[in-house]
Amino acid sequence: MDKIKKLREEAMRLQTEARSKIDEAAKLAEAGKADEAAAMEAEADKLMDQRDAKAKEADRLERLEVGQRDLDAAQETRDREQREQRRPGNGRSEFVPENAQSDEYREAFQAMLLNGGNVADLPTEQRDLLRGRHVETRVQVGGADAAGGYTVPDSLANFINIAMAATGPMMDGDLVTMLNTTSGNSIAMPTIDDTANEAGAHTEGGEPADDNSGDVVVGKSDLGAYTYITPWIKWAMELSQDSAFSWEQILGRLIGERLGRLGNRLLTVGTGTAQPLGFVTSAGVGVTAAVGAVTFDDIMDLEHEVDPAYRSGDRVAFQMHDKTVKALRKIKDSEGRFIWSDGNVVNGVPPSLNGRQVRFNQAMDEIAASAKSIAFGNFGEFYARKVGDPVLGVAREKFWPNMGIAGVMRLDGAVGQASAIKVLQHAAS
């Protein structure tokens, strides 16, 4: 925690220094000293890059600490329950769901890794536990061993999901609506946009209009389950054998970041053809901005292109590439106030644009000709569908004496209400 605090304090110092240089650059520009103003802005940009790096490192460490605390709390609860069960006279039976993952499964999973992925050499009890959670991932070949992977223990799944959410906002269940299903069957998602309709005045003795003017148009989006796999990760057996390392934390971060980057990109700019339909692809263009710039009017117009029904709530946000922020930090409103705020990293206040929260999405375009560089809306209207937790496949002989580990996930996504999200696109020339 001390390291996190120091990183946040250093980020605040850099932010204050950069703000001072931006103000000084504005004064130089007003005095007609364009070259000096540009040099001062470059210094401010450099300081803010340093500030962003410190803030991201602090956020990453904080997420890992939260995940570890959750695991520790869960372990403490399990230990307490086991102590209660061992007390004399405590003969209560306890219902355990069929799909619950026990500590024995977690130990069997780690033993499989320790043994280089070779299940055959494990004790019978551990083999049975693992085979009970084997997942087929490709067509079988006659006479070959079962091909596929094993569902990960809950503790490892927790680290993977934390890393996925930290890697991209579209994998974060606090921003989008995340549907986690047990099977990959297609889900028909109805879409209704009734924001343009309203009730009318009633005349005594009159009847409601029957002229089809009140009909509701119901659309439909089908959410499937496309399968994606990471490249092989060469995993040293020592990482599983050495108790000084948290193998779940290390492996969870490696698998989670790779799956998270892919998932975030597809849910952002996916084409919808044999892959998810990303929100940038499906959202309407609310504002057309100049080729290489964004103005305060552009931001205001983009906000008001979204229907008021979708402009309130915890999931209303801007999304943009991290480098787009450099341009936004220099924009002022009509009263000379900066519309960008870096928040307060010490107190956990996130960055904001014109008072709205901002999520950095590296899958979005940077500012350029024809680019869709900024999105705004209620991302709770975007539905991301996952099928269970990721599955791990292990290859032993291919990388002996180490092993190869790959993660597999099934994913799809689509916007529920097209009018809930709009994008800013730059002119072609």
- Asked if residue 246 is part of any domain, the answer here is yes
Res 175 pLDDT > 70: yes
Q: For the chain, what is the mean pLDDT?
A: 78
Write the secondary structure of 358-405 as one string of H (helix), E (strand) and C (coil).
Answer: EEECCCCCCCCCCCEEEEEEEHHHEEEEEECCCEEEEECHHHCCCEEE
Q: 3-class DSSP state for residue 300?
A: helix
- Asked if residue 383 is part of any domain, the answer here is yes
Torsion of CA 37, 40, 44, 45, to 10 degrees: 70
- Asked if residue 109 is part of any domain, the answer here is yes
CA 199 to chain centre: 39
Give pLDDT, residue 99: 42
DSSP H/E element including 352:
strand 352-353
At 331-377, the pLDDT tens digits run 888 888 888 988 876 777 788 999 899 999 999 999 999 999 999 99
- Asked if residue 51 is part of any domain, the answer here is no
Give pLDDT, residue 94: 39
In terms of pLDDT, which residue wins out, 379 or 183? 379
Domain that holds residue 174: 102-188+219-321+361-429
Residues ≥6 apart with Cβ < 8 Å to 77: none
DSSP states along 41-96:
HHHHHHHHHHHHHHHHHHHHHHHHHHHHHHHHHHHHHHHHHHHHHHSTT-------
- Asked if residue 274 is part of any domain, the answer here is yes
At 14-28, the pLDDT tens digits run 888 888 888 888 888
Of 4-13, 119-128, 334-343, 373-382, the least confident = 119-128
- Give the chain's domain count: 1
At 89-107, the pLDDT tens digits run 444 433 333 444 556 776 7
At 31-64, the pLDDT tens digits run 888 888 888 888 888 888 888 888 888 877 777 7
- Asked if residue 328 is part of any domain, the answer here is no
Res 382 pLDDT > 90: yes
- Asked if residue 22 is part of any domain, the answer here is no
The answer to whether the bond into 350 is cis (omega within 30° of 0) is no
Tokens matching residue 379: 């991302």
At 233-274, the pLDDT tens digits run 887 777 666 645 566 677 777 788 888 889 999 999 999 999
Q: State whether the Cα torsion 132-134-139-141 is positive or negative.
A: negative
Q: 3-class DSSP state for residue 124?
A: helix
**Range 214-243 average pLDDT:** 74
Tokens matching residue 426: 């730059």
- Asked if residue 30 is part of any domain, the answer here is no
